[in-house]
């Protein structure tokens, strides 16, 4: 389970592209024709993804989300930790 002091960076095996407010993640190790390996992040998840550069802790990313969106601290924490769990599951993040 993620903790506020944890820092993550985007895995080198993932290519991301911004399309409108969303970000598309594509694992480059997979067959490009495999649509099940393409993941879409909404605007708030994309903000967190962009900040996952190995330099920012989850606490800092949490604060950034709170400053950008009208959401409770508890809801932002829950969503952020669920996002991290998901990105770890699909091997899109590396813990630093």
What pLDDT is recorded for position 30? 52
At 20 the pLDDT is 87
Residues above pLDDT 90, as percent of the chain: 78
Does residue 27 surpass a pLDDT of 60?
A: yes
| Residue-wise pLDDT tens digits, 10-24 | 999 899 999 988 999
Instruction: Tell me, yes or no, if the pTM score tops 0.85.
Output: yes
All domains of the chain in start order, with CATH: 7-90 (3.90.930.60)
- Whether 80 shows a pLDDT value over 60: the answer reads yes
Would you say residue 9 has pLDDT above 90? yes
Please tell me the distance from the alpha carbon of residue 66 to that of residue 44, in angstroms, as a whole number: 10
């Amino acid at each position: 389970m993620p903790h506020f002091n944890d820092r993550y960076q985007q895995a080198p095996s993932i290519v991301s592209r911004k399309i409108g407010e969303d970000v598309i993640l594509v694992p480059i190790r997979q067959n490009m024709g495999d649509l099940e390996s393409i993941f879409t992040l909404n605007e708030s998840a994309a903000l967190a993804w962009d900040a996952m550069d190995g330099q920012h802790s989850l606490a800092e990313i949490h604060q950034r989300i709170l400053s950008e969106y009208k959401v409770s601290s508890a809801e932002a924490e829950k969503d952020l930790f669920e996002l991290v769990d998901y990105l770890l599951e699909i091997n899109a993040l590396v813990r630093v």
